Structure 1
Amino acid sequence: MSVILATAGHDDKIRFWEAPSGICSRVLRYADSQVNCLEITPDKQYLAAGGNPHIRLFEINNSSNQNPILTLEGHTGNVTSLGFQRNGRYLYSGSEDGTVKLWDLRSPTFSRSFDSKGAVNSVSLHPNQTEIISGDQNGSIKTWDLGSTKCISDVIPDARATSTSAQGRVPIQSVDVSNDGRILIAANNHAEVFAWNPSEAAKNGESAQPTYKFRAHALGAYLLHARISPDCQHLVTTSSDKTARLWDTNTWQQTQTLSQHTKWVWDAVFSADSSYLVTASSDRTARLWNLRVGAPVRQYVDHDYAVTCVALNDSAC
């Protein structure tokens, strides 16, 4: 299949879609919990789904097998975020249990675990493939060295957090690193986005503090997800205000507001060429947007409850 599109949420089902037609082509049941996050392997062979507290791996191209081929055990709370290393052999995950874990998919148990000392809301793999960035409920952004298993950076971007106490800090809801390693963004649930170039800061001997900050959504709205486009030119943020918003990563000016959902927009993912976007919403739908014109071109309607996560892989393998 050239395009793999999957959505999931609170109805305990994972749905695969024919992206151009909007037809649901396959349904998998995710037993025991809602689905919090989805990710497709780079080779389009497998789909990973994170729930509470399991991670399950499904075959994409074997429609006769509806059961997971691997269940990863080790987290003790909701799995909030996950992803694959470039070769698809390793999976990384973050959880409300306060840990970041690395998994070798040849085994059902984790190979490494990092203690964040706070519920982890988001994880992202640096393009150097040797560092994982996490954002947690204590308002902290940590960088983990996969080789030494140590935390090599711990940044609290909220200037109001002047003490070591986690009380009063704003939780970091989402973190991401651009494919070229030039931009690290962290967004808190008050819709404040922080951006900086960690490589430049390290090279100049400076602390890895953000160099730019802006509010992505109106005061009172919750930011739910933030993701940098594959071409590194755009950032999308999603929110409780029912919109997804696009930002130019060179100027940090807003370029588009996508506003046809009728409830919270939980997740968003870009196409490989960064010209399309799929969003997932509590209104029980996902939408495909043509970013060249800023309009939806397809709606995916079949879920019974909120759609909270979406995965898309339309890259050339």
Structure 2
Amino acid sequence: MSVILCTAGYDHTIRFWEALSGLCSRTIQHPDSQVNRLCITPDKRYVAAAGRNNVKLYDIKSSNPNPVMTFDGHTNNITGVAFHCEGKWMVTSSEDHSVKVWDTRSGTLQRNYMHKAPVNDVVIHPNQGELISGDRSGTIRVWDLGESRCTHQLIPEEDVSVASVSVASDGSLLCAGNNKGNVYLWRMIQDRDVTNIVPIAMFQAHKDYLTRVLLSPDVKHLATCSADHTAKVWSLDSEFVQAKATADAAVKKETNGDVKSGDSPTQQQQPNGVSSATTSNRTPSDIWASGQHSEHRSSMADSALGLIPPDSSKGDSSSLVPAFPSPPDGLPMDSNTNTLYLETTLSNHQRWVWDCAFSADSAYLVTVCSDHYARLWELSTGQIIRQYSGHHRGAVCVALNDYSEPR
């Protein structure tokens, strides 16, 4: 059981797979409801299945088909679930507008945080002291567990549902995806006990609903899943072949004197061909959409695009320009498409792609789809290595743990 791979969905079953052979090794019935999300404990001992009103915890190593613990308290679909690094507590999000923290040893509710709309996803920051959740109104909230309060509120696009959030394994990046297919990326900077959140990139990853965003364990890739029947993998790595070639060409061009050092900063062309002198009349949304970079980092980034203190009014942010640093502070962006560099498009799905999971080495991705299948992809080639067949209705969630050590 060094590799735990399981999927679930609308057929009320949880299926465990032998990752290499593609065979289903065990099926657990979940008669109460469909399963919306799965999460494996860091020690690989249990899997949490989030259903309509509760989360059931199953023993992976036991043949007992019944849950060893049930967490009751939500009043609508549970949309997200994640475990503390040592499995001592669990967080859930729900369409009942709440984010709840549970003691996994006693099953008791420890924290209850409220949004003003159904919550679609929640993740735990690697520092184990903050939660990040996104809701249907377009709001992302950061919760400080120590102070038990919301410390940041981000609204990338008002009234556009935030379908998914992901935080980097090293805590450096926060990513969100919404129902317009747009992806937003922020740099998370720890300054003593304070987390500063700075917007660094926005792009349209899909032209249809985005169902999942996921940063890879090595923080070099970003996976996005969509209703457009595809999953895509984007590069965050400045050493990615295309990104490096573009950067080298830019250096060569500057070295050859094509860029005159005496040019006025107000007339220099930005990567998208718009001079920085024109930015003052553009809204934050315009600048997100263009991928344009500002020449400076400033506190105005805290207000632009909804980085608003949770209790303050939104006010007029139309004149505020968020900072978009170039690498190494920023991310390598393709100036031809105003997106991250696209590594591969996984396009053999027949219906909506709902969820995905990276392998520990970030070299493989498992996707699940409404066409009933789960698929294992080799990212270097974009090819399907295994296809897992057994669900007789849509598969909507997947969990994978192939780490050699507990995490």
Same fold (TM over 0.5): yes
Matched residue, 2:179: 189
Matched residue, 2:396: 308
Deviation digits for residues 36-79 of structure 1 (CA, Å, limit 9, x no counterpart): 0000011100000000011000000112x000000001111100
Moved more, 294-303 or 109-118: 109-118
Matched residue, 1:42: 42
Letter in structure 1 aligned against 2:204? R
Matched-pair contact (CA < 8 Å) for 1:157–1:210: no
SS of 1:210's equivalent?
strand
Deviation digits for residues 122-142 of structure 1 (CA, Å, limit 9, x no counterpart): 111111100000000110010
Whole-Å separation in 2 of the counterparts to 1:27 and 1:208: 42
Whole-Å separation in 2 of the counterparts to 1:17 and 1:255: 27
Matched residue, 1:166: none
Say yes or no: does 1:232 pair with 2:232.
Answer: no
Select 2:200's aligned residue among 211, 218, 223: 211
Letter in structure 1 aligned against 2:217? P
Matched-pair contact (CA < 8 Å) for 1:157–1:209: no
SS of 1:208's equivalent?
strand
Letter in structure 2 aligned against 1:47? V
Q: Displacement of 1:299 after TM fit?
A: 0.3
Q: How does 1:49-128 map to 2 (within 5 A)?
A: 49-63=49-63, 65-128=64-127
Deviation digits for residues 252-299 of structure 1 (CA, Å, limit 9, x no counterpart): 221110011111100000000000100000000000001121100100
Whole-Å separation in 1 of the counterparts to 2:165 and 2:213: 7
Matched-pair contact (CA < 8 Å) for 2:188–2:195: no
Letter in structure 2 aligned against 1:300? Y
SS of 2:197's equivalent?
coil
SS of 1:2's equivalent?
coil
Name the TM-score, length of structure 1 as normaliser.
0.93
Matched residue, 2:18: 18
Q: Displacement of 1:148 after TM fit?
A: 1.6
SS of 2:189's equivalent?
helix
Whole-Å separation in 1 of the counterparts to 2:353 and 2:51: 19
Say yes or no: does 1:244 pair with 2:234.
Answer: no
Q: Percent identity?
A: 48
Matched-pair contact (CA < 8 Å) for 2:189–2:196: no
Whole-Å separation in 2 of the counterparts to 1:269 and 1:217: 19
Whole-Å separation in 2 of the counterparts to 1:45 and 1:37: 17
Whole-Å separation in 2 of the counterparts to 1:7 and 1:94: 19
Matched residue, 1:164: none
Q: Displacement of 1:207 after TM fit?
A: 7.3
Larger Rg: 2
Name the TM-score, length of structure 2 as normaliser.
0.73
SS of 2:44's equivalent?
coil
Whole-Å separation in 1 of the counterparts to 2:54 and 2:403: 28
Structure 1: tracts of 5 or more residues without a match: 162-168
Matched-pair contact (CA < 8 Å) for 2:97–2:117: yes
CA RMSD of aligned residues (A): 1.5
Matched residue, 1:278: 366
Q: Give 1 or 2: higher strand fraction.
A: 1
Q: Give 1 or 2: higher helix fraction.
A: 2
Letter in structure 2 aligned against 1:117? K
Runs of 4+ in 1 over 4 A off after TM superposition: none
